[in-house]
Amino acid sequence: MKKIGFLGLGVMGLPMAKNLLKKSGCEILGYDVVEKQRENFIAAGGTVAGPEEIYKICDVIMQILPTHAIIRDSVEKAVQYGKPGRIIVDLSSTAPDIIQELYKLAKDAGMYLLDSPISGGNPMAIAGTLAIMTGGDREAFEEVKPLLECMGTPVYVGGPASGSVTKLVNNMVAGAYLVAMAEGYAFAAKAGIDLQTTFEATRGGFAGGPLYDNKIPKLIHRDYEPGARVAVHRKDILNAKHYAHHMGVDTPMTDVVLQVMDWMNDNGHIDEDQIAMVKYYEDKMGVTVGSAD
């Protein structure tokens, strides 16, 4: 039986690791810097181990980590302590150029690095229905595909960094959609029409879809408890802008999304749900959108 290491048991990582525990039949060794998350992992049947132990003994190492510095350090240590044939699966949102560097590092050591970013937020992490976009070596993907299927629907999208680029596309489109929702409903509130009726009238049209059905009720009820935080989405938008600059292209719609997210950051709302971006429009339009009642 393979030993699987799982690093990062946060809002997304813990439910993903729980699904691995329930469905894979493998021994899962996990770690998070937050003690409460380690306790929750143990309660779900996992085994807590220190990072160095995980780097030394696990056949497959999965990680979902918050910053590029931490991601880079983790992969470097997984390579340093590992042996040829090891597969490292980075489920984080990592910039494509960093993935390309780390992929080469792993490849030179006879190991594999798969960039496998995810989409779907905490509800889909709990349900095990995440979209998983994987780049890297196909043979490594096929080997870990059954593990990824415990957490969602993995799709092989191409060579190294393809998964990361695909995730940027996903979040560029989703970011524009979320900002458009916020703007549209602030516009509706300013015009004095009923928001719930607006939702019922539009959800079956072209504006509707899973994200619309998930986010608009939260907007109407001023529920900004994060299913996915602006801070996490903004990281992908910054990565997209960085890579667009690398390719020498303009992304004007993404510029607007970043402008709104920067306002959220500057005004203390960065850790709220993405749909809280309606606060930007409340400020600009002088209107209150929805009711917490």
- Name the stretches of the chain with pLDDT < 50: none
pLDDT for 122 equals 85
Question: Where do the H-state alpha helices sit in the chain?
Answer: 13-23, 35-43, 51-57, 68-81, 96-108, 121-127, 138-148, 162-191, 195-202, 210-220, 230-247, 252-266, 278-285
pLDDT at residue 81, rounded to an integer: 96
Q: What pLDDT score was predicted for residue 292? A: 86
User: What is the rounded CA–CA span in Å between residue 175 and residue 237?
Assistant: 8
For residues 63 and 92, is the Cβ–Cβ distance under 8 A?
yes
pLDDT value, residue 1: 57
The SS3 of residue 271 is coil
Q: 148-153 contacts: CB < 8 A, separation 24 or more?
A: 148/89, 148/116, 150/19, 150/20, 150/22, 150/23, 150/24, 151/16, 151/19, 151/20, 151/118, 151/125, 152/118, 152/120, 152/124, 152/128, 153/129
125-147 in b/e form (b: 16+ CB < 10 A) is bbebebbbbbbbbeebbebbeeb
> Are residues 230 and 264 in contact, defined by beta-carbon separation less than 8 angstroms?
yes
pLDDT of residue 129: 96
Token pair listed for 45: 């049947």
What is residue 2's predicted lDDT score, i.e. its pLDDT? 79
CA 68 from centroid of its chain's CA atoms: 14
Q: What architecture is domain 3-159?
A: 3-Layer(aba) Sandwich (3.40)
Domains in the chain: boundaries: 3-159, 165-285
pLDDT in tens, 225-275: 988 899 989 999 999 999 999 999 999 999 999 999 999 999 999 999 999
Distance of CA 193 to the CA centre of its chain: 34
H or E element: which one contains 28? strand 27-31
Tokens of 29: 């060794």
CATH number of 165-285: 1.10.1040.10
Instruction: Write the DSSP symbol of residue 10.
Output: S
Closest among 17, 28, 15, 139 to 87, alpha carbons compared: 139
Extract the tokens encoding 284. Answer: 């600009």
Catalytic residue list: 167
Q: Please state the pTM of the whole predicted model.
A: 0.89
